[in-house]
Amino acid sequence: MKKRFYITTPIYYPSGNPHIGHAYCTTLCDIFARYKRMRHFDCYFLTGTDEHGLKIEKNAQKEGVTPQEYVDNITSIFTKLWKAMKISNNDFIRTTEERHIKVVQEAFTKMYQNDDIYLGKYEGWYCTPCESFWTETQVGPEHICPDCGRPVEKATEESYFFKTQKYLPELMKWYEGDKVIYPLNRKNEMLNTFIKPGLEDLCVSRTSFSWGVPIRENPKHVAYVWLDALCNYLSALGYGSEHDELYKKYWESEESEIIHVIGADITRFHTIYWPEFLLSLGVRLPDRVFVHGLMMMKDGKMSKSKGNVVSPYPLIEKYGVDAVRYYLVREIIFGQDGQFTPEQFVERINVDLANNIGNLVSRTVSMIQKYFDGKIPSFVENVNEQDKELEILVKSTIESYENKLDDLHITEAIVDVMNLLGRANKYIEESAPWVLAKDPSKTENLKSVMAHLAYIIFVGAKLLEPVLVEKTPLIFDSLGASENERDYSNIFNEHVLDNHEVKKGEVLFPRLDVAKETEYIKGLMGGK
């Protein structure tokens, strides 16, 4: 396993306010970063905004402001949202920053000097919302963008082009890696849809608008948004500057694992053109590109232009940030498309958080207070068959959790933890502590039940800590665990809570009125 990790979200296009779809990707990356740090690995986490392009220029004109004023306003909303979502990113890169502009210009110059870029003329179909060029075949007789389904426009302009065929053999070697592009169907899609039919040279500059990074070699050209945007992963680390310590540590070093997490709609740019740009620059390729699915609504993909977006803010305000973070990680399997519905959101809070976690903590603390004056009994192994089964389950859950999270199967890892807590709830019903407490000869058995429950809650809270950032400290407080005892290494120590004094805390996740809260959330969605 690598010693260090560099994980990145796509940089978001600030053409409108952020919605829960943006929060989904960033939260999942945050969970991975927090998990790695929790296990004492070095993890650098980057997110940011992609602030150039024709769409931004047009939006700014409509609002009567400069493009810079426009993106400053929208970007501030993104940064406020990440603060509200408790996102632990190390840096926030903006493509309008000088540190980024210099890298884009330098990258273009290097590619040009390598004879990887040439001046030509573009004639084809252009989709302004997607900032994408398409061929006649791709847009079809209706001239519709294959990505977003909107009409495209005929475009002709002088442009620089990147020679995609030059690095195709090396790109194919990179594709041979087992987990370089995940899920596998995304890799196959790139091969069958774009590479095998014949990869066309890529347009990397524009002259029909001015809001972009000017090319030094020909200032009437600005860098095409995808060359511009993709360089953020390097510019944030100080690539090519005097202060390139982060670049050497997190990109250049073989001890670091580089992970890009992206949405399915930008797979082509990250798994074909970005690796080829890096090959042209003589820079190491990423270790993994993980493609998450899209956040869907009942009427299709969530998008600002469709007006079917949900803002996370009212959800956070009413239900708490942990409920929103948990829903995002639990409801949609990372790597697959998922659908947001009010019914599912309320159900997850009630079934998983209120019942499975909150009720388990409350019942266990109450029973320890009632039967043992609030002191957790010392842990004893294998008092009975049920205890033995639980001990095995705890160990297998930890092992599975680590293996899955290391492999970015984040949803499945969290499901394992919830299954463990669900088993603990069932264990209460099976062991019936209220019956054991009436029989003095069963005291040792009762002690074992309480000790096992407390330990499982401790383990579960620690494994859920990257997700439930506000509530897990309260669970540890209820168990009387000190700051040092909350270290990840103690999940393997069954005696970590021996003789600790429990205390009743606040209700972690109040149960919701399903009908009432479902209607409230539907209202946020415009009644959809």
The domains found in the chain, sorted by start residue, are 4-309 (3.40.50.620), 342-492 (1.10.730.10)
> What pTM, to 2 d.p., does this model score?
0.93
Give CA–CA dist 280/112, Å, rounded: 10
The residue behind tokens 């069963």 is 442
* Residue pLDDT, tens place only, 249-280: 999 999 999 999 999 889 999 999 999 999 99
What's the average model confidence in pLDDT over 433-454? 96
Residues 172-195: pLDDT tens digits? 999 998 889 999 999 999 999 999
131 or 398, which is more confident: 398
CA distance 245 to 167: 28
Q: How far apart are CA 36 and CA 30, in angstroms?
A: 10
CA distance 403 to 391: 19
Q: b or e along 358-384 (b: 16 or more beta carbons within 10 Å of the residue's beta carbon)?
A: bbbbbebbebbeebbebbbbebeeebe
Radius of gyration of the chain from its Cα atoms, rounded to whole angstroms: 26
CA 381 to mean position of chain CA atoms: 38
At 515, is the secondary structure helix, strand, or coil? helix
Cis peptide before 183 (omega within 30 of 0): yes
Between CA 297 and CA 340 the distance in angstroms is: 6
Report the first-to-last Cα separation within the chain, whole angstroms: 46
Per residue in 132-168, pLDDT tens? Answer: 778 788 888 889 998 788 899 888 889 999 999 999 9
Residues 318-334, mean pLDDT to the nearest whole number: 92
Mean pLDDT of 416-440: 96
Rounded average pLDDT over 109-133: 89
What are the distances in angstroms from CA 513 to CA 273, 314, 319?
49, 17, 12
Task: Say if residues 410 and 28 touch (Cβ distance below 8 Å).
Answer: yes
H or E element that contains 516: helix 514-524
| 202-203 vs 153-162, strand pairing mode | antiparallel
96-100, 129-133, 221-225, 375-379 — which is least confidently predicted?
A: 129-133
Distance CA 524, CA 333 (A): 24
pLDDT at 361 over 60: yes
| Model confidence band, residue 528 (pLDDT cutoffs 50, 70, 90) | very low
